Amino acid sequence: MTTLLVGNGTATTCKVSSVLNRDRKLYGAQHLFDGVDDTCWNSDQGHGQQVWLHFNRSVHVKRVEVMFQGGFAGEDAQVLVAAANDPKSWVSVATCHFDDCNDLQTLDIDVPHVTQLRLQFDRSSDFYGRVILYHYRVWGDEES
């Protein structure tokens, strides 16, 4: 049964590459998972922004959903994962181009035995490289 692997009530932790003006209260990573449409993670400027998830358990990742603010989308992205048997080796499992819009966008993937997932934005639609992400959901299955 596919379940939400991130957010309140899960063991997943999150780290981001930067936060606008270091204002974590207003723009921190916690807003990616709160389900509120008015809050967001807002990166500082600079290309190569990233969001790291540490699941703290082995999971089978099946789908990634993101919703950006138009004009601040992470357009060219890579999904990298690390497995329980080798947590320091990152493997790219998908590359994608997200649209510069406010719509919820979905990336279907099928990757078992994942303990960490990194979403890396190689390019942003913003001239300064900022990314504004309102929702970040990862769906899949818990592994035993």
86: pLDDT strictly greater than 80: no
What pLDDT is attached to residue 8? 86
71: pLDDT strictly greater than 90: yes
- Which residues, other chains included, contact 119 with Cβ-Cβ below 8 Å and sequence gap of 6+? 50, 51, 53, 64, 66, 74, 77, 78, 79, 136
Confidence of residue 64 (pLDDT cuts 50, 70, 90): very high
Q: How far is CA 143 from the centre of its chain?
A: 20
Helices (H), 9-141: 24-27
Q: Can you name the CATH fold of 3-142?
A: Jelly Rolls (2.60.120)
Confidence of residue 74 (pLDDT cuts 50, 70, 90): very high
Q: How far apart (Å, rounded) are the C-alpha atoms in residues 68 and 100?
A: 8
All structural domains of the chain with their residue ranges: 3-142
29: pLDDT strictly greater than 80: yes
CB 92 within 8 A of CB 79: yes
1: pLDDT strictly greater than 80: no
**pTM given for the model:** 0.92
Q: E strands of 24-129, at which residues?
A: 41-42, 49-68, 74-83, 86-97, 104-124
Residue 49 three-state SS: strand
- Mean pLDDT for 99-103 is 97
pLDDT digits (tens, 9 = 90+) for 14-27: 999 999 999 999 99
Confidence of residue 76 (pLDDT cuts 50, 70, 90): very high
